[in-house]
Amino acid sequence: MGVLGCASIALRKVMPAMRDAEHVELRAVASRDPARARDAARRFGCAAAGGYEDLLGRADIDAVYIPLPTGLHAHWTERALAAGKHVLAEKPLTCDHATAVALVEQARKAGLWLMENYMFLHHGQHRAVGDLVAAGRIGAPRVFTARFGIPPRDAADIRYRPDLGGGALLDVGVYPIRAASHFLGPELDVVGSVLRMDPATGVDVAGHALLCTPSGITAELSFGFEHAYRSGYALWGDRARITVDRAFTPPPGSEPLVRVESPDGTEELSLPADDQVKNTAEAFARSVLGDADYAPHAEAITRQAALVERVRARARIVRPPAPSR
């Protein structure tokens, strides 16, 4: 593996996990700042490449991880695939559906694996929830709700840069949307949405979306940068309701708690701790080595991009008035 960029998530989470993951050897890291690349290379025991193109040209790199700002994912994914490298790209892969389709097709034609990095999908708690739903614990599902909100960031944060793909929808909103598809299936569509725009930066800082399956199961999703931290979802059926806290970013050492609320009372299920970052790295490696079917994975990438695009296209845009002086 090579790493294109020294983003915080790469240094704090993904590169340590890659160092410990089976079937993965962290070989090199690149940065726009050569000093940062050298520091990261010393920390993780790998080489410092001379730049992004230099890393892509290395014969000892089979695949790359791209943790760059959202607006740069598509360009460097295209360049990596053109260089013959498998790609693990941070979410979202692109800012629009058409580009996602093009990249998925480029990878397919080249015989390469392209993976969008929704790490939460590789945590065991969601598999346990799926098993409970399949076993009929909540009865027939009626409503899926999900929330992912974080407090305001520093004004210089790239999340507030429209030219780099900033905004709450692409940063935190994509998690509830992906979770809704995971549990409700591929026929989910967008009924309507609201995006709250920040007049100073020009990016959306909060939003809410209503999605629906053809049979009428709804997904109510909220997200934003103006919130007390919350990361969870619930599945509400005609018999009971399952709730999950810390759904999207659980620490690797924490033991998840899943609650099943029914007319007979509340049951709390304590699940084993799991490391979704390490699991993701290993799942990517297994896929590259041939232990997966690319077609359904590629379809999930393009379906997610289409849903995100529809949330934006169908949104009522709210622009708060500027504060009075």
Average pLDDT over residues 105-130: 97
Average pLDDT over residues 232-257: 96
Walk me through the domains of the chain, giving residue ranges and CATH numbers: 2-117 (3.40.50.720), 120-318 (3.30.360.10)
Q: What is the average pLDDT value for the chain, to the nearest integer?
A: 96
More confident residue, 129 or 292: 129
pTM assigned to the model:
0.96
- The answer to whether 139 touches 193, Cβ cutoff 8 Å, is no
Per the omega criterion (within 30 degrees of 0), is the bond before 92 cis?
yes
Q: Tens of pLDDT along 12-22?
A: 999 999 999 99
- The answer to whether 166 touches 203, Cβ cutoff 8 Å, is yes
Please give the structure tokens belonging to residue 282.
């290993």
Which sequence positions are flagged as catalytic?
91
Q: Tens of pLDDT along 12-68?
A: 999 999 999 999 999 999 999 999 999 999 999 999 999 999 999 999 999 999 999
Q: Tens of pLDDT along 155-186?
A: 999 999 999 999 999 999 999 999 999 999 99
Q: Are strands 230-237 and 218-224 parallel, antiparallel or unpaired?
A: unpaired
Q: Which of 134, 138, 172 is nearest to 153 (CA)?
A: 172
- CB atoms < 10 A from the CB of 53, how many? 13
Q: Are strands 86-90 and 141-149 parallel, antiparallel or unpaired?
A: unpaired
Q: Are strands 114-117 and 141-149 parallel, antiparallel or unpaired?
A: unpaired
Q: Which of 113, 26, 104 is nearest to 61 (CA)?
A: 26
Report the C-alpha gap between 49 and 249 in whole angstroms. 30
